[in-house]
Structure 1
Amino acid sequence: MYLIAGLGNPGPEYAATRHNAGFMVVDRLAEELGARYWKNEGGALTAKVLYKGQELVLAKPQSFMNTSGGPVKSLMSAYGLKPDQLIVVHDELDIPAGTIRVKLGGGHAGHNGLRSICDKLATRDWLRVRIGIGRPPGRTPVADFVLAAPKKEQAEELAAAVDEGAKAVLSLIDNGLEKTQQAFN
């Protein structure tokens, strides 16, 4: 079993923002894998699906980005999962818009959702699918940039990265970290 936690903020005002890239990937996976029912569980919206005989729990924490660790830890405890059964999907400023990277472990690079998960799990050793959103232009504050919906060309880049992110999550399950990194990084 894997827990696939997409990071984002709940509510329609955040739905199309860069910071919700993780939610977008989880929604894409739910669509592709035929998730039919979402429920509130452990502070997150969850849907269970089968993928090649493997049970996946798709999750969108509803506690807002900065406190994502609580719902992630709650779900891991409820399902008896270890950190190597967790895949977190999130936006990443330090990766060019429209691209993705996959890795195991690492720091939080100032990302408050990752910081919260690191703190609650007391480890950094879990798989990550990082959706590149690039850096804000000029002097645009980071918070304003990540909480804004991208315009036409940037929206197309984000949509392409979301598609690749969903493929990378399934590749991690099918092929493991090294082959997935070779294919997507």
Structure 2
Amino acid sequence: MIKLVVGLGNPGRQYENTRHNAGFLFLDDLAAAWGCSWVSEPRFEGWLAEGGMASVRVMLLKPETFMNRSGQSVGKVARYYKLQPEEILVVHDELDFNVGVARLKKDGGHAGHNGLRDIIAHLGSNAFYRLRIGIGRPAAGRPVAEYVLSAPAKKELEMMRDAFEYCSGFMRQIVTGDMASVMSQLNAGAPKTNEINC
């Protein structure tokens, strides 16, 4: 079962709607759907919300440490609540997927994503689940850092939010540990619309 869902992003108003904050945006939508309230938790260096689904207690976490140090916050929560890596789902932006594409996977490397790199270092394991939200790659010649830290176009944001909504429909199965079923559906690429492949 999943007991902690982590959304990756950067704190601060200037980063709120940027591509790199896809994880934060997803968790904000999920918390709203679940009726959860965010509470600042300095001891965990993040914002926590708590809800329940299918009789399972689920914590939502948005680290306030900035992306490159996300593992500090995740590690503190995991140690305090004695969570195993397999009980953690990390939601993050994915350059290698087109906008609106999302995939669920377990373990693997960080593929250059500094948030994942730091989480792996602080957990001492890569055996957590990842929900990867596609943001696409920048045009040739545009620096990746500039691209991920900028806001997507209105249409792109709509596509991302459609993907959030669609993926949220799998959360009950994810939380209860029915990962094989979710992966077979979500990763098969069945589109919700002609534009969203999630």
TM category, shorter: over 0.9
Q: Percent identity?
A: 39
**Which structure 1 segments of 5+ residues have no match?**
none
2:109 matches 1:110: no
Determine the structure 2 residue equivalent to 1:167.
Answer: 169
Determine the structure 2 residue equivalent to 1:39.
Answer: 40
Q: Is the 8 A contact 1:102 1:168 kept in 2?
A: no
- Residue 97 of structure 1: SS of its match in structure 2? coil
2:51 to 46, 49, 52: 49
1:151 to 145, 150, 153: 153
Cα separation, 2, equivalents of 1:62 and 1:170: 26
Deviation at 1:73? Answer: 0.4
Q: CA 1:108/1:183 → structure 2, altered by over 3 Å: closer, same or farther?
A: same
- Residue 59 of structure 1: SS of its match in structure 2? strand
**Which structure 2 segments of 5+ residues have no match?**
188-198
Letter of the structure 2 residue corresponding to residue 89 of structure 1 = V
Determine the structure 1 residue equivalent to 2:11.
Answer: 10
Q: Is the 8 A contact 1:50 1:56 kept in 2?
A: yes
Q: For 1:101-120, what per-residue CA distance to the aligned partner results, in whole angstroms no more than 9, with x for missing partners?
A: 00000110000000000111
Aligned CA RMSD, in angstroms, stands at 1.4
Q: Is the 8 A contact 1:131 1:165 kept in 2?
A: no
Cα separation, 1, equivalents of 2:160 and 2:26: 10
- Residue 169 of structure 2: SS of its match in structure 1? helix
Q: Is the 8 A contact 2:53 2:175 kept in 1?
A: no
Deviation at 1:158? Answer: 1.6
Letter of the structure 2 residue corresponding to residue 56 of structure 1 = V
Structure-2-length-normalised TM-score: 0.89
Structure-1-length-normalised TM-score: 0.95
